[in-house]
Structure 1
Amino acid sequence: MTGSGAQITLNVFSNCSEVDVRKIPVKETVESFFACFGRDVVARTVYFIDPSPFRRSYETHRQRISEFHTPLGPFEIHYTYGLAFGYRKSIVLSETEYAFQLEHDWRFNAPLIRHSIEHLVAAMKAGGIDHLRFNQHVNATSRYDVELEETSFASVPMLRTPMRSNNPHLIHVPTYREKWLHLIDPARGKSKGVEENLWRVPNSAIYGPLNYPATIEHNDGRERLRKLGKKLGKPTFNFLIRSGAMEAAFEAEHFVKRRLGRA
């Protein structure tokens, strides 16, 4: 739901998971966010790009982001060393009181998100919430969603829970700087550096009441690599990534497809 009023920083976290950077769904993710919430609510979009695992794709990926985002409003791009590193940096750099933290492979189910960013921020302030996330599953008790307590602040229904997730979420930046920044560990790989130490902390919530349908959909940007890792086994997969052989294979595939007109 679009609206005007409170402005936030939109922090977008991406990596180089494909040689053909058009397959990295960051453009679709950002467009989905703007279609749901509008552009005016964002003071600035800040991209944090981890060059792994295909480092030679970084510059092309950065250029593609610059091209598609230029008409969408102010933005900047930062080089990072992993998701947790970028997440910490986003908290340090954010100039707004609230920030939306968004990895590059999500879609928003706009018809089910019936409140603007302005309304969500008002609800977070009213309830003392510093982490409000959207759910990729039905809002129900599960392994990752426990101790759910229905509540409502500023007419926005939500579920209190001690469990946080790196699914798309709004944060109160000053609270994160003061209380949680030291718990975000760049040494931990992938999303673990963000999530593992913030699983059971107060003032967290999920958008929507109990049994509310999923409000986001995961368009997994690493799905192809996950399948290869499972097929090859972790030791072999990691060796191919570290040695550059996987990147070379992806580049060869991309070259052949372009020559054949199938890219």
Structure 2
Amino acid sequence: MYYSPLDQFMVKPLLMMSESLTVSMTNYTLYLMLVVTLMVITYGLVRSGKLVSTRWGVAIISLYDTMLNLVTGQMGRRAGYYYPLVYTVFNVMLLANLVSMVPYSFAATGQLVPVIGLSLATWMGNVVLGLYLHGLGFFATFVPGGTPTPTVPVLVTIECTSYCSRAISTGTRLGANILSGHTTMTILGGTIIGTMSSSIFGFITGVVPIAGVVAITITEFGIAIIQAYVFSITTSGYIKDSVDTH
């Protein structure tokens, strides 16, 4: 159990080689390495052809096709340049969300500092991309077409605020959804223990919160997939805005 948001950054020893040599890492790093390992294993199995005729293979192909249609629908012929990034982001988020559903595991995407950091890095990359492609013309994004001259300062301020809010809104949405779901499950889990250990009547009525935990767990699996998709579609949309400006 974590009592402070900073616990995710505590360096914990994994392997003691000697008194002066210890292999250590944070919880977030450990689970991120697990996610990357799962991605590499899956990619290797797909490349080897062992998943082609299986249900897992069909699922992976379906995810690939879904994300390809998403990026192509937003960017058209330019989708090939940015699809690998969006597809990788989707896989990382999806696997991290699903790994967090394993009992006694660590919700990497439920930690606001790392996910907001990723959101901020993506936003900065879009700004650099827009400046690289359009130069100073990129700032025309903040002036809607047909805007009357007297209202330009007000609309530019609103558009700049809206654009800058993207730096944290994407990560905050993901982290808040994952964190709220896990918090609800933790609260109900504690309720089950307290209720069923109080009396025989409490043991019988404890079935109700158990049913609630089962329902929330099923819902959380859907949220894990949806939030990964939402993060990817917003990332793709922001890239499109940097490429097309309007």
TM-score norm. by structure 2 comes to: 0.24
Relative to total residues, which structure has the larger helix share, 1 or 2? 2
Q: Which of structures 1 and 2 has the bigger CA Rg?
A: 2
Relative to total residues, which structure has the larger strand share, 1 or 2? 1
